[in-house]
């Protein structure tokens, strides 16, 4: 299966303050790559690089073979909607001054079908049409994260990068949001990059796993292999400290 999103020898941070060191990984269509690692290992930085929010200092981030950094403006305009991100904080990620309609539809150019796409995205995450005219303060944390997911869906992406997307939610709400993400993956064939410190969440979501330690991938492979038969001491330490 051909990778849809790739990192190739990606380095970020100047010498002496380097955050990522020669990272290479592949994200496959319709599958989830789980990223695990200790606090400060570089997981969130990797998410920002994979989403194109920041460029690497060295190496390439490729979407369907196109390098974010060197692609033409026209190609970048196509790439950006295809790779979306869901952030950790469902409260800080949404502009409190905007109605949900404007938050979800922000990435769309004015178009005749804009309203239809907004309402469709809200319906897909289990929110009513009336939600469009309300503000983020009117919603619970789980509902706000649904709004963030709708915002990611609105551009019809191929890849969604979720950086600790459920860690701020209570356990029951986490389960609802995770199952929603799995349903959306099956429906739309989405690829996910899923970062979590909770290995139970990673086990539930992931097809493949990469383990980060001090900005380096120290182990990667099928989720069942990495979690059940780890070969590296860093992975074994993460597993021992989580169960």
Contact at 8 Å (CB) between 61 and 54? no
> Which element (helix H / strand E) includes 163?
strand 159-163
Provide the pLDDT for residue 202: 94
Provide the pLDDT for residue 27: 98
What does pLDDT average to in each consecutive run of 10 residues of the chain (243 residues)? 94 85 96 94 94 92 91 85 89 90 89 91 96 95 94 95 89 92 96 94 95 95 95 91 64
Calpha distance 129→25 (Å, rounded): 39
Strand 32-37 to 191-195 pairing: parallel
Beta bridge partners of 208: 33, 222
Strand 216-222 to 208-213 pairing: antiparallel
Q: Per the confidence metrics, is the pTM higher than 0.75?
A: yes
Sheet holding 159-163, edge to edge: 83-86, 159-163, 191-195, 32-37, 208-213, 216-222
- Rounded to 5 degrees, φ, ψ at 212 are -100, 140
Provide the pLDDT for residue 243: 47
The closest of 87, 73, 47, 46 to 215, measured between CA atoms, is 46
- Domain extent for 65: 5-242
For 133, counting Cβ atoms within 10 Å of its Cβ (0-12 exposed, 13-18 middle, 19+ buried), the class is: exposed
Q: Which region, left, alpha or beta, applies to residue 14 given φ > 0 means left and ψ of -120 to 50 means alpha?
A: beta
**CATH number of residue 228's parent domain:** 3.40.50.300
Contact at 8 Å (CB) between 234 and 219? yes
Tally of domains in the chain: 1
């Amino acid at each position: 299966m051909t990778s849809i999103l790739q990192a190739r020898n990606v380095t970020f941070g100047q010498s002496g303050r380097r955050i990522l060191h020669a990272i290479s990984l592949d994200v496959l269509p319709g599958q989830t790559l789980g990223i695990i690692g200790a606090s400060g290992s570089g997981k969130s930085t990797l998410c920002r690089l994979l989403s194109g929010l920041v460029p690497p200092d060295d190496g390439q981030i490729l979407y369907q073979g196109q390098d974010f950094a060197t692609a033409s403006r026209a190609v970048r305009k196509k790439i950006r909607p295809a790779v979306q991100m869901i952030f950790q904080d469902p409260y800080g990620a949404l502009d409190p001054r905007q109605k949900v309609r404007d938050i979800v539809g922000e990435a769309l150019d004015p178009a005749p079908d804009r309203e239809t796409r907004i309402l469709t995205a809200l319906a897909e995450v289990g929110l009513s049409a009336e939600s469009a005219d309300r503000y983020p303060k009117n919603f619970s944390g789980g509902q706000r994260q649904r709004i963030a997911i709708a915002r990611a869906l609105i551009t019809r992406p191929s890849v969604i990068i979720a950086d600790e997307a459920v860690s701020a939610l209570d356990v029951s709400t986490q389960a609802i949001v995770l199952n929603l993400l799995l349903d959306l993956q099956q429906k739309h064939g989405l690829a996910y990059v899923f970062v979590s410190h909770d290995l139970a969440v990673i086990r539930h979501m992931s097809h493949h796993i990469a383990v980060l330690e001090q900005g380096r991938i120290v182990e990667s492979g099928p989720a069942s292999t990495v979690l059940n038969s780890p070969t590296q001491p860093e992975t074994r330490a993460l597993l021992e400290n989580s169960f």
